Amino acid sequence: MHYGADYNPEQWPDEVWPEDVARMREAGVTMVSLGIFAWARIQPSEHEFDFDWLDRVIGLLHEGGIAVDLATATASPPPWATVAYPEMLAADEHGSPYWHGSRQHYAPSSPAYRSLAAALVRRIAERYAGHPAVVLWHVNNEYGCHLDVDYSDAARDAFRTWLTNRYGSVDAVNAAWGTMFWSQRYGSFAEIFPPRHAPYSHNPGQLLDYRRFTSDMFLECYRMERDIIRAAGAVQPITTNFMGAFKPADYARWAAELDVLSDDLYPDPNDPEGFREGAFHGDLMRSLKPGTPWLLMEQATNAVNWRPTNAPKAPGQLAAQSMQAVARGADGILFFQWRQSRAGAEKFHSAMLPHAGTETRTWREVMSLGGDLGRLPDLPADDGAARVALLFDWENWWAIENPDHPTSLDYLSLVRGWYDAVHRLHVQVDILPPTADLAHYTAVVAPHLYLLTEPAAANLVDFVEQGGHLLVTAFSDVVDEYDRFRAGGFGTQLRDLLGVVIEDFGALADTGSAGPGEQRAPVAGPGVAFVGSILAEEAHAVDARVLARFEGGRQDGRPALTVRSHGAGSAYYLATVPDDDGARQVLDHLFTAAGVEPVYPGLPPLVEAIRRGPLLTLINHGREPVHIDVQGEDALGGGEVRGVVLRPFGYALVLISSLEATEPCPPAVPGSR
């Protein structure tokens, strides 16, 4: 289990470094991420490299027994680079550049950027590939953060190449995008531009491809650096830090390219439901690379600096959120950052070592967490405890949020609505792409798969045929992978499975809006009563049992929730977006059919329970102490457990079967204690 933080010694005089190492040892730190924003310090000008300071820092860390996650430092090019090569600056949709003076202002497709980054990474990798302190490589930092989409000339040129590789001919692009519409036909690739500022709606196929292209450009940068590190002879695992479900980068495609996944997580301490974000991140990381432990690479010890108001964490919240990650397969807990900065935009951001020093609650909590992590036994990565899968798809995310739809949907928040509903029921869940192997699951929740490819649809049909229980929700199976209707319109692939025909999507007025129109769609049936919003589809049950109907309003009497049995399995359809209690009621139907059980019985609402092999983690996110009747052995070495009292943000780590029963996995990162 690794413990540590981003370490930015370049912000401090040399004499602070030995004190840092001593304090790190005190806190139980085992690994730091070094040099993430140190490009300007390593390479003060194009032909000048200074590694002396880095040699000394790595040497000090190594002497202190602290391992290094060595960064490639390519996330923030120095001013000399963008002055010499202004074509490497990213640009907004007006073509206006993002200047230096902040960070992450480079165009990922720029040959100039890539060439400078490659030269830097080569020097770093050749110098440190064999250094015994280096146990992990940290490529770039948070690819795509601050720069959702780049519209620069570099992107324009690279987009044309990308399209040529994807489609082969400009006619194929015209066909995919449907460019006979609005006279958009292209005569050559040279006529195609990024979807820059325009008077009205862009072509949706072009927008979707531009998202694919953007994700691919960042991935190409990652691959370039990874390959340089390997070519230098490095054998350590390589990672780059993810940000949970992050729209610009299709992590489901990226995951296979990383040896170890790592994640950055910053839930708002003011949000009493914020802990579900940590749960979602952790379940996503575990699911993206099954069977491989991951690292919580960044979180805050206390307040951040970048929200309109930056609340401190409550006492105990830091450890509770860290244990959420360990419970879901993390083999390392790290922070941004080790020592709080004296200058710069993040000087108010908390750190392991705050400005106020060691006589602080933050430091005490940092020490205590380090102690607990140090006492944990080796744990397996994941023994496939989840029987429920929630389907989540980046390409669908990009397509469903294209403009000019029946209504605007926030895909992530809709998926999170379903995730949170599952989490409230204390049911363990994996988060998977729609083409994932579903054989292991008994229930699948598939919210709003607007863009549904043929292989994904076949996968869902097959899942139900094999006896699985599936929930499909409104505005699904609408378009193909080019964001076009298929011949026959929408619903062409799941219609038979669901036994439902949709005639219209029935957009409702925005909840809480002052304008005219229905905002709510009440739904009722035997044992079912809730309110839908956003969509109330005009659905016809042609071969399905109706479990609940819309009551009143435009769709009065029409099916809202249906089920069709198919072999040993069943397929549910929900023609609206339910409120929280409605989601619970729908899941009750699905989980009863599928025989899904909570991780642990009888838990209070704000206690979460997670299985990781023999380890049962119980965390109280509520403000009241609770007693849980659980038996086993304390994983932190406290002996036999016969019931636990969890104070607010308290946790219990209980081995509920003998550890010998499950082989611990090899560590994600060598040198873990």
Q: How far is the CB of 117 from ligand GLA (least distance, A)?
A: 17
Q: How far is the CB of 2 from ligand GLA (least distance, A)?
A: 17
Between residues 5 and 81, which has the closer beta carbon with respect to ligand GLA? 5
List residues bridging with 445 in a β-sheet: 390, 471
Q: How far is the CB of 251 from ligand GLA (least distance, A)?
A: 15
DSSP string, 574-623: E-EEE-HHHHHHHHHHHHHHHT---SSTT--TTEEEEEETTEEEEEE-SS
Would you count residue 298 as binding ligand GLA (CB under 6 A)?
yes
Q: How far is the CB of 112 from ligand GLA (least distance, A)?
A: 24
Residue 165: half-sphere exposure toward Cβ, Cα within 13 Å: 9
Contact call for residues 444 and 418 (beta carbons, < 8 A): no
Would you count residue 264 as binding ligand GLA (CB under 6 A)?
yes
State which of residues 82, 141, 215, 473 lies at the interface with ligand GLA (CB under 6 A): 141
Residue type, 344: G
Dihedral sign (CA 296, 401, 483, 510):
positive
Dihedral sign (CA 228, 229, 234, 240):
negative
Between residues 346 and 383, which has the closer beta carbon with respect to ligand GLA? 346
For the chain, give the longest Cα–Cα distance: 77
Would you count residue 128 as binding ligand GLA (CB under 6 A)?
no
- One character per residue 183-222, x = contact with ligand GLA (rule: CB under 6 A): ----------------------------------------
Contact call for residues 171 and 273 (beta carbons, < 8 A): no
Between residues 263 and 395, which has the closer beta carbon with respect to ligand GLA? 263
Would you count residue 266 as binding ligand GLA (CB under 6 A)?
yes
H or E, element range at 128: helix 111-128
Would you count residue 263 as binding ligand GLA (CB under 6 A)?
no
Between residues 203 and 302, which has the closer beta carbon with respect to ligand GLA? 302
Kindly state the DSSP code that residue 377 receives in the 8-state scheme.
P
Spot the catalytic one: 142, 225, 277, 401.
Answer: 142
Find, among 83, 84, 61, the residue nearest to 9 by Cα: 61
* Structure token pair of residue 393: 């798809």
Residue 399: half-sphere exposure toward Cβ, Cα within 13 Å: 25
- Distance between CA atoms of residues 255 and 292, nearest Å: 11
142 given a catalytic annotation: yes
Q: How far is the CB of 331 from ligand GLA (least distance, A)?
A: 20
- Name the 3-class secondary structure at 210: helix
User: Phi and psi at residue 646, in whole multiples of 5°?
Assistant: -105, 115
State which of residues 116, 120, 296, 304 lies at the interface with ligand GLA (CB under 6 A): 304
Between residues 336 and 591, which has the closer beta carbon with respect to ligand GLA? 336
Between residues 145 and 175, which has the closer beta carbon with respect to ligand GLA? 145
Q: How far is the CB of 266 from ligand GLA (least distance, A)?
A: 6
- Distance between CA atoms of residues 89 and 122, nearest Å: 22
Q: How far is the CB of 141 from ligand GLA (least distance, A)?
A: 5
Spot the catalytic one: 225, 277, 298, 608.
Answer: 298
HEC sequence for 136-161:
EEECCCCCCCCCCCCCCHHHHHHHHH
Between residues 6 and 420, which has the closer beta carbon with respect to ligand GLA? 6
Q: How far is the CB of 142 from ligand GLA (least distance, A)?
A: 5
- Distance between CA atoms of residues 648 and 623, nearest Å: 5
Between residues 142 and 365, which has the closer beta carbon with respect to ligand GLA? 142
- Name the 3-class secondary structure at 316: coil
- Distance between CA atoms of residues 143 and 158, nearest Å: 18
State which of residues 138, 349, 426, 566 lies at the interface with ligand GLA (CB under 6 A): 349
Q: How far is the CB of 323 from ligand GLA (least distance, A)?
A: 20
State which of residues 142, 216, 382, 633 lies at the interface with ligand GLA (CB under 6 A): 142
Q: Judged by CB under 6 A, how many residues of this single chain contact ligand GLA?
A: 9
Would you count residue 69 as binding ligand GLA (CB under 6 A)?
no
Count of other CB atoms within 10 angstroms of residue 256: 8
Would you count residue 336 as binding ligand GLA (CB under 6 A)?
yes
Find, among 414, 415, 419, 440, the residue nearest to 429 by Cα: 419
Would you count residue 246 as binding ligand GLA (CB under 6 A)?
no
Contact call for residues 519 and 533 (beta carbons, < 8 A): yes
Between residues 8 and 459, which has the closer beta carbon with respect to ligand GLA? 8
- Distance between CA atoms of residues 628 and 497, nearest Å: 42
Would you count residue 277 as binding ligand GLA (CB under 6 A)?
no
Q: Which residues are catalytic?
A: 142, 298
Q: Which residues bind ligand GLA (CB under 6 A)?
A: 141-142, 264, 266, 298, 304, 336, 346, 349
